[in-house]
Structure 1
Amino acid sequence: MAHSIQGTFVSEKINKVRWRPDPFNNSHCFITGSWDGDENKIKLWDFHDNEDSEVYPFVVSEIAHKGDVTEALFLNADTFACSSSYGSVSLFKIMYREDSEISIEENIHWEHIHKFQNDEISPCTSITSYDQDIVSVGEDGRINLLTLSPEKIIRSYNNADSCSINCVLFLKHNEILTSNSRGQMKIWDLRSKNEDPSSTFILSGDMVAPTCLTYHPTQRHLVVAGDEEGSMTIWDLRQNTYPINLLRAHEESVTEIQFHPEYPDHLFSSSNSGEIWHWSVKSKSSNLILGAPGEDEESNAWFTSDAFKNKLEVLTLMDKLHKPINSFDVNQTKVLCGCDNEAIYLINGIKLHNF
């Protein structure tokens, strides 16, 4: 492998890992959220690159988190949101003190906004954000639209689904995509006065449940869904009757999928089987970056169905682990991932040139 791999034992199972945004695309800070512990935590980490020797990440600050961290996402460089298996959503701030110390402080807390009809707490399974708005979904089949200005719940779809909603994704400011445990994908218009989805379609004919969603960085109608059987399905939501492509990928459930934000011809995926893969579109053109502004969709391999698999190069970023890789995040040529073996891994030097 041309890239380097550096593992660090952290004494807790990591369920989410996210790079802290950096305006110069040179972030060396990140957060982790743990799960399945007596006391789960959110931690802010830092490390500095050193070409001559390995420098392991170190904890800058940490804060206790009630319940498992089920999702984490940054709204800006100093603000991030986390969801909890206790049915709550919290907004955190990275604060700088006069003594130069950095701390994580909870800024807003939406307590138990997911619960079953018997008032038993329901896990919040996923959150997504768009500007100042956050949408949460849970095992109770509820959708909540939250806003930071003012700090309140704008709207709740109390009976959005009769089963668990596993994933949610903002497509645009007034539209979200959800997927449930029965394999149904639903598009919701947040401007609509009724509480019915504007569109419903099936991921698979076998009721396979989606486990994660992502969209193309420049063409949000292109969506990829990972499922519990290890496959990835590619959809063009402008014509969502049938998927564009189905990739038989991992041996077990797909935990996360993500396009590279600057190079959308590169896709990454991780799984419960302990695999993390790099999917790259083959191209003989050195100046072709798929998904770039003004790109003709016909030249985008993700939109094509004929011999699609022959256009992909699939690389294993590190040896298969014996525990699930729950989460990863991509920043330039670096990939961070968190695992149930109580370790985090920094994979550095990812090849992003077209083939």
Structure 2
Amino acid sequence: MEDVSAKFVSQKISRTRWRPLPAAALQPPDLFATGSWDNEDNRISIWSAGDLGNAGLNGEYHGEPHLLCDIQHNGDVMDMQFLDQERIVVASSTGTVTVFHHHQNNQTLSADHRWEKAHYHVDQDTACGGAACTGVVCNNPEIVTVGEDGRINLFRADQKDAVRTIDNADSSTLHAVTFLRTTEILTVNSIGQLKIWDLRQQRNEPSQIFSLAGDRVPLHCVDRHPNQQHIVATGGQDGMLSIWDIRQGTMPVSLLNAHEAEMWEVHFHPSDPDHLFTCSEDGSLWHWDTSTNVSEKPSFLHQGGRSTAYLSHSTINQSVVSAWLSSDPTKDRMEITNLIPNQTLSVNSLDVLGPCLVYGTDAEAIYVNRHLFA
């Protein structure tokens, strides 16, 4: 695609994240961060997205991303999220959580704060071995982390110690976490469960538990609808996209055939949540479009030939229903596009903001698409 610029970076990329824009900003996003994994020397890097198609004095194109600064990271980058315009919270396979500061005046990165072994295993000799911190979510100044030790931590960026820790939150690995609202988080685990935790409650049990029916397929990723907090999307080991309505029932509203292998990330578009994006170990990145004017659009290429169907467990009786909760046939309500027709190695991460998409792969490359809706 002519709108996609690629940069080969000699590192397997595990996470890509756009720097958030100021509330009143009208320009498209310009900076993003990446984290790497499975390399001898893993790094956190800050990139400029490149000029928006402007040609230089000699007519050369400056569209490809270019590196502004980077810093070494101990362990694989398991997850990362911007806390604000200048700080990035990074989860490590060593169990450590680090807040990195991007100094824009001289384009350097420094470690502001580090919570060593925020996640750990305790063996029989009571020695602590690091357990991977698998997920992080920020609501400045609060930071929530989850890990393969089944632990949930609540940190504040300006405090040295954890504000709260739920030690045995889960007996299985927690893979991802998101805020439902300022006082509630939602976690997904390796036995196909979603759990809601009310941080106002002192008891260390979830307030609600949801689970996939049948086989307990590990769930790897979760995101909530930005406007309707009761709508949640998850993806897991079988590549299926599950849509949940956490107001009712304990099972997904719909299960959608998607990828041929593990789904690594799912993201609603933050300002246009009729659009959702998923990426997978199978090398694909799907754009799911439920906007009501789908029938008026030119037909998207339906790469890969996967059929898509709703398996509805419930109906919602309300006058205006989100297309995500509809039990209408998907062929009438949804267009699905594979944004990477030539699949190669795993697409580990994606992020969307405004008209722009960034994603990273095991093929040691990052890609930026500046015209998602063109």
Distance 1:221 1:75 in 2: 24
Compute the displacement of 1:318 (Å). Answer: 2.1
Q: 1:62 to 1:83 in 2, by over 3 A?
A: same
User: Structure 2 unaligned runs (5+)?
Assistant: 56-60, 296-317
Secondary structure, counterpart of 2:83 in structure 1 = strand
Q: Read off the aligned partner of 2:88 and give its amino acid letter.
A: F
Secondary structure, counterpart of 1:306 in structure 2 = coil
Secondary structure, counterpart of 1:305 in structure 2 = coil
Distance 1:285 1:219 in 2: 21
Where do residues 1-355 of structure 1 align in structure 2 (5 Å cutoff)?
A: 4-23=3-22, 24=25, 25-46=27-48, 47-52=50-55, 53-97=61-105, 101-118=106-123, 119-284=128-293, 298-351=320-373
Q: 1:89 to 1:121 in 2, by over 3 A?
A: same
Q: Over residues 219-270 of structure 1, what are the superposed CA-to-partner deviations in whole Å (9 max), with x where a residue is unaligned?
A: 1111000111000110111114232111111111111111111211111111
- When structure 1 is superposed on structure 2, of 48-57 and 115-124 the one drifting more is 48-57
Compute the displacement of 1:121 (Å). Answer: 1.1
How many residue pairs get aligned? The number is 340
Q: Over residues 205-224 of structure 1, what are the superposed CA-to-partner deviations in whole Å (9 max), with x where a residue is unaligned?
A: 20001110001111111100
Higher relative strand content: 1
Q: 1:333 to 1:207 in 2, by over 3 A?
A: same
**C-alpha contact (below 8 Å) 1:337/1:344 kept by paired residues:** yes
Q: What is the identity percentage for the equivalent residue pairs of Structure 1 and Structure 2?
A: 38
Distance 2:292 2:209 in 1: 35
* TM-score of the aligned structures, taking structure 2 as reference length: 0.87
Q: Over residues 132-190 of structure 1, what are the superposed CA-to-partner deviations in whole Å (9 max), with x where a residue is unaligned?
A: 11111111111111112333201111111111111111111211111111112111111
**C-alpha contact (below 8 Å) 2:84/2:140 kept by paired residues:** no
Secondary structure, counterpart of 2:196 in structure 1 = strand
Q: Read off the aligned partner of 1:109 and give its amino acid letter.
A: R
Compute the displacement of 1:310 (Å). Answer: 2.9
Q: 1:180 to 1:285 in 2, by over 3 A?
A: closer
Q: 1:113 to 1:208 in 2, by over 3 A?
A: same
Q: Read off the aligned partner of 1:12 and give its amino acid letter.
A: Q
Q: 1:69 to 1:303 in 2, by over 3 A?
A: same
Compute the displacement of 1:282 (Å). Answer: 4.5
Distance 1:188 1:122 in 2: 22
Secondary structure, counterpart of 2:247 in structure 1 = helix
**C-alpha contact (below 8 Å) 2:275/2:291 kept by paired residues:** no
**C-alpha contact (below 8 Å) 2:74/2:94 kept by paired residues:** yes
Q: 1:309 to 1:178 in 2, by over 3 A?
A: farther
Q: Over residues 59-98 of structure 1, what are the superposed CA-to-partner deviations in whole Å (9 max), with x where a residue is unaligned?
A: 111110000111111111111101000001111111144x
Distance 1:147 1:213 in 2: 22
Secondary structure, counterpart of 1:116 in structure 2 = strand
Q: Read off the aligned partner of 2:108 and give its amino acid letter.
A: S
Distance 1:125 1:282 in 2: 32
| Alpha-carbon RMSD | 1.9
Distance 1:328 1:20 in 2: 13
Q: Read off the aligned partner of 2:322 and give its amino acid letter.
A: N
Q: Read off the aligned partner of 1:26 and give its amino acid letter.
A: P
Q: Over residues 103-157 of structure 1, what are the superposed CA-to-partner deviations in whole Å (9 max), with x where a residue is unaligned?
A: 1111110001111121221000001122211111111111111112333201111
